[in-house]
Structure 1
């Protein structure tokens, strides 16, 4: 208990520090600007904007100026890191304590892709595959006109008028359309691109197949997995929710580590006509296929072990069912043109391994017949492993996943674990308490989610956004596992006392 309280106090102190720094950012004037940005435009007045993974908003390419750098060197470096474009830095367009803006031109011709699907605003995609930050901080790089829809997604709305003047004052660059980049693909992926084309043509000719694959795509969606996680935490014994959390965290870290480490471009970056859905980042392995295989494997594993009296299912049937559903989820990603068959095969295999490990951890018993999945030492070990991974490759998903794991560990320090989970007793014998707990839990989560939205403004720094959302995730887990059950139990006790 003391350990958990110490961690919580430290966590609250960190959040307060971030909040204090954010609210006092204007009270600390600096003569040296914090960042440098580049304006790169074409002859039609379109400008290059980057979309980050954290806020999903648009902004000019650029970033912080290192202490040893000149302004121009910082603008050149940050633009290369975010877009993969080498630029010649031209005249200075604006400067204040926050940033210095330069007119820049690419040092070589740059091509763009006409997107095959609607992404919410009319813009071409710049293939930023050689960008250091692509798939990490940067979600996508666009060449777009400054339309009202685009400006509504621009991160700094106060710069709207200045942005138009910066574009007009910059020297135009010629960009050219990219229809086919298959010459950049290796021999294996070149063959797979032809397979995807044939597969898409076949699916388009059979309406039921198209509808089935569109529906199967949902098996790997993150919203479905998070919904399943919350459901397990609310109405099932604790070990079930912890097992789903274990599998999701393992999926997030392993998939993204492989994606960024191998850096294989998605099919539509080589052949734009293949794209049928929105996607960004790299291709191998398929995150959808991995997550679907892991979640389906865990659920079927539970049926085999704990549903014997209710469900008659053999091991071969379970394996065939798992593989068939996982394959459907993976085939949907090939149909949508965002993954190769090899990505799907690797994802299904990785998801199967994660499911087996998760089930083993769930069912293994240690001292006093306690499930290993409920061990504080296990989650402390995972925190250390995940912290190392996060520090090596700082990415919003990694940071959020680590704070979710921190919330679980802190919750386990508060929850008195017993062989028979007390919340299982409440759900089974007291439907009113279960209903109250669900309402309290969801209401509290809604409030926790709303707090960062209130604190964050268009001018909020990325570090504060990251901190605020991380705190919200950790507090949300604590509320689901500790706050809502305890408050619900007190309400039940008070109601029983009044009736007696």
Structure 2
């Protein structure tokens, strides 16, 4: 019986092994990932820029239930919006296989002065979720320096000799690929730029820098400031506003998927930006956060609307001038930011700022978005809110009924902890080329940040204060 089974196994293997090989069933346990090398006649390669670590790579990803070539084709379509055919296997490296792939239709590109080409990829499923931008680029020193997988890039010159060149279609601009409304809307960006360019160059430089007033980096200054001037309750208020703006803006951006003005007209681009356009996250953040700061100063007796309106309007004008947002984007951002800061001042929200249950509800409500939207921001917000709920629950008996400001000591202690956590997250992003590792590290970082702000720092500062 044993000999019969052995013979039967050898017979079946002889019959079906060629078919299995042709079908590329991923039975080889060493092959975990697959990627497509898509090139053009000029020796340029289709490259994506990753959202998590900002690195460059050819489109590809992990193999799940697909064959390796199917996985490579699927990932290329999801990341770039370009349909390709796998021509042949080029090379196997470590745990990945690279395929020579050819686009089934001409790749829409806009030629840049540096020899690279911008690819119109905003309709790709994972654009703005996993991918920042898509380009055609030669395997040069810049690509090697910023590559997610440098060893792959070193092989590109030799692999390109065997690859099948895809056709490209050059566009002076991509306006024809968008809607008439977006085309009309982008003309306001052009007119505003023309007006600013008639003024001294310092005006344009000032407007460009003004965008930083709505940058997420403000978090590192305003959170310690809130802890110093209003204690944990004021800090929780700022955190609520920040998370609210982030969730609302990101959800709308991903689901409306409006291309930025410079995607349509590349000559409008005066600053780096990625993802989608509507609404303006910088503007929403500015109106929400600076509105909150205005209310803090108002409570202290300094009621001057300029504290709110000046930085917020500067951010809005800056985003239009830089060609990264339409006028309608900044108007929507202003409305969203104002509404969120207004909601944060209602008695219903104020009374629950330090409630563990309140933050637990926010975290649980965000989890479905984290699971369905394929954007790490939702996961980070969920992990932060849930961890803050845990921290507040642990501190429920240690905090006074009316948490007091922690003063200068509170500012520097809070800032120091935040910087250590941020350094750890940044270090992993530099050290690792794995998206999963970076995602996990960032999630852990936001968990630690919530525990620090909601539990550890207030406990340390309470001891010092009393």
1:225–1:295 Cα contact (<8 Å) kept? no
Q: Does 1:141 align with 2:114?
A: no
The verdict on how the C-alpha distance between 1:446 and 1:270 changes in structure 2, with shifts beyond 3 A counting, is closer
Please name the residue that 2:88 is paired with: 91
**Cα distance in 2 for residues equivalent to 1:215 and 1:449:** 23
* Structure 2: 5+ residue stretches without partners: 1-26
Q: Does 1:248 align with 2:242?
A: yes
Please name the residue that 2:362 is paired with: 382
The verdict on how the C-alpha distance between 1:114 and 1:290 changes in structure 2, with shifts beyond 3 A counting, is farther
Please name the residue that 1:52 is paired with: 50
Please name the residue that 1:151 is paired with: 144
1:301–1:359 Cα contact (<8 Å) kept? no
**Cα distance in 1 for residues equivalent to 2:318 and 2:185:** 15
Pick one of 284, 287, 293 that aligns with 1:290.
Answer: 284
Task: Map 1:406-425 onto structure 2 (within 5 A).
Answer: 406-415=386-395, 416-422=398-404, 424=405
Please name the residue that 1:66 is paired with: 64
The verdict on how the C-alpha distance between 1:348 and 1:487 changes in structure 2, with shifts beyond 3 A counting, is closer
1:239–1:362 Cα contact (<8 Å) kept? no
* Two-structure CA RMSD over aligned residues (Å): 2.6
Please name the residue that 1:111 is paired with: 108
**Cα distance in 2 for residues equivalent to 1:451 and 1:173:** 42
**Cα distance in 2 for residues equivalent to 1:109 and 1:291:** 39
**Cα distance in 2 for residues equivalent to 1:35 and 1:162:** 17
Q: Deviations over 1:343-386 (max 9, x none)?
A: 1111111111011011225874xxxxxx3211112111111111
**Cα distance in 1 for residues equivalent to 2:122 and 2:170:** 16
Please name the residue that 1:266 is paired with: 260
Pick one of 406, 420, 434 that aligns with 1:461.
Answer: 434
Q: What is the CA-CA distance between 1:283 and the residue it aligns to?
A: 0.8
**Cα distance in 1 for residues equivalent to 2:430 and 2:198:** 47
**Cα distance in 2 for residues equivalent to 1:388 and 1:347:** 24
How high is the TM-score relative to the length of structure 2?
0.86
**Cα distance in 2 for residues equivalent to 1:361 and 1:64:** 48
Q: Does 1:478 align with 2:455?
A: no
Q: Deviations over 1:465-495 (max 9, x none)?
A: 21112112211232234323434555678xx
Q: What is the CA-CA distance between 1:441 and the residue it aligns to?
A: 4.0
Q: What is the CA-CA distance between 1:180 and the residue it aligns to?
A: 2.1
The verdict on how the C-alpha distance between 1:442 and 1:355 changes in structure 2, with shifts beyond 3 A counting, is closer
Please name the residue that 1:311 is paired with: 302
Q: What is the CA-CA distance between 1:45 and the residue it aligns to?
A: 1.8
The verdict on how the C-alpha distance between 1:347 and 1:41 changes in structure 2, with shifts beyond 3 A counting, is same
Q: What is the CA-CA distance between 1:114 and the residue it aligns to?
A: 4.0
Q: Does 1:391 align with 2:371?
A: yes
Please name the residue that 2:13 is paired with: none
How high is the TM-score relative to the length of structure 1?
0.80
**Cα distance in 2 for residues equivalent to 1:43 and 1:181:** 22
The verdict on how the C-alpha distance between 1:411 and 1:333 changes in structure 2, with shifts beyond 3 A counting, is same
Please name the residue that 1:77 is paired with: 74
Q: What is the CA-CA distance between 1:153 and the residue it aligns to?
A: 0.8
* Structure 1: 5+ residue stretches without partners: 1-28, 365-370, 428-433, 494-500
Aligned residues: 437
**Cα distance in 1 for residues equivalent to 2:429 and 2:173:** 41
